[in-house]
Amino acid sequence: MKIQHILPESEILQNHIAYYFTFDFAGANPPKELLSYPNHLHLVTFYNNFRSIYSEQQFNFQKGDKFNVDILGRYTKPLVNRCSVPMKGITIVFKPLGINYFCAKSFNELVPNVSADFFLWNEKSFKLEELLYIEDVSEIRKRLDSILLSFY
């Protein structure tokens, strides 16, 4: 299990983004459960080859066959994340109101429930997916900063 936190290099992005983190739960024994606690930050996660299914305060991550970009909305109780497959992905953690600089819709329109497919970034999906195959954290930061700066 490997989790790495990365700070955006761009000062402009630092105004809106708290940090990025990469996660790689490879190997035969991925973590079985992780908890997400309520907070005031918004998370956009992109990953490949698994999907998340939400029901009753928990996410179940299962093997999938496509690239996904999800946004996590508001929730008031801890969420249980159950993993049954090795997973690899990248999460962007936005500061309060930070997500507003990267999309034209209100947060309530984007995520009426706990989680939703973040369809507004579909045109960036190829560039985002490429990041999942890069091992060098500095290169991930450089490219992710570039993708996000293209929204300005």
| Tokens found for residue 3 | 């989790």
CA distance 97 to 42: 8
The torsion angles phi and psi of 145, rounded to 5 degrees, stand at -55, -45
Cβ-contact 53, 38 below 8 angstroms: no
Separate counts of helices (H) and strands (E) for the chain = 4, 8
- Confidence at residue 45, expressed as pLDDT on a 0 to 100 scale: 86
> Exposed/middle/buried for 19, CB within 10 Å: 0-12, 13-18, 19+?
middle
**How much is the pLDDT for 31?**
62
* pLDDT score of 11: 94
Residue 80 gets the label, from left (phi > 0), alpha (psi -120 to 50) or beta, of beta
Residue by residue, pLDDT tens for the chain (152 residues) are: 788 899 999 999 999 999 999 988 776 566 677 788 877 788 888 888 777 777 777 777 777 778 888 888 777 888 888 877 777 889 999 998 888 888 877 777 777 777 777 777 778 888 999 999 998 999 999 999 999 999 87
What is the number of alpha carbons within 13 Å of residue 88 lying toward its C-beta? 14
CA distance 54 to 100: 24
**How many of the other CB atoms lie within 10 Å of CB of 110?**
19
How far is Cα of residue 69 from the mean position of the Cα atoms in its chain? 7
Local structure of 19: helix, strand or coil: strand
